[in-house]
Amino acid sequence: MRFFTIIVRGLLRRPVRTGLTLVGISIGIAAVVALVGISRGFEQSWAKGMQARGTDVVVSNMGSALAPKPFNASVRDRIAEIPQVAATCAIFVDLTSIEDSSMMIVSAREWGGFSWTNLKMISGRMPKDEMEPVVVLGQNAAEVLKKKVGDPIQIEARELTVVGIVDGGALVENGSVILSLPLYQEISGNEGKINII
């Protein structure tokens, strides 16, 4: 009796066990394929968002969390001094629950930085200054949160007002709650901190 014959007999004698094993292996393979597809899609969307903002290089301090670890905002000034750097923009990106949505991207951007210029206004207006207690929403974020211009929005313990709906040119941008960096630093207790340049 050959080794292969023993294997085949074992599989045929227990058809339920064989079938369940094949189903389990198939589910495992499908899960891996799906996760790889999701991660590639997210990576491509993030790259498209960076391209839409005109970003060539990103400086961050990635750890094991979904969002980069905060670091001192003075790093931005040191990066800006490098001769090959045309412009820098300090950003604080956070993943947090907002109202009924369990996970939203909050993108707090340096006031007057180039990351604001790529946003195409769909309705409403941009914030008037860096401490105005307002946000603009990407069009997907507005749909998820069921918000329109003039509606209140709760971020952490602070109530802000939606003043604009924008098209950011990428899925990541369109799914974001966007506000000025100093305002979010105050709200989140991260004064003097950023996590992306």
Distance between CA atoms of 167 and 138, rounded to whole angstroms? 6
The predicted structure's pLDDT at residue 42: 76
Tens-place pLDDT, residues 24-51:
999 999 999 999 988 888 778 777 777 7
64 has pLDDT over 70: no
pTM for the whole thing? 0.74
58 has pLDDT over 80: no
Taking residues 142-158, report their average pLDDT. Answer: 92
Residue ranges of E strands in the chain: 71-72, 91-98, 101-109, 120-124, 134-138, 152-155, 158-167, 176-180, 193-194
Model confidence at 1, pLDDT cuts 50, 70, 90, reads: low
The predicted structure's pLDDT at residue 178: 94
Tens-place pLDDT, residues 101-116:
888 999 999 988 888 8
Taking residues 69-84, report their average pLDDT. Answer: 86
- Every domain of the chain and the residues it spans: 3-50, 58-194
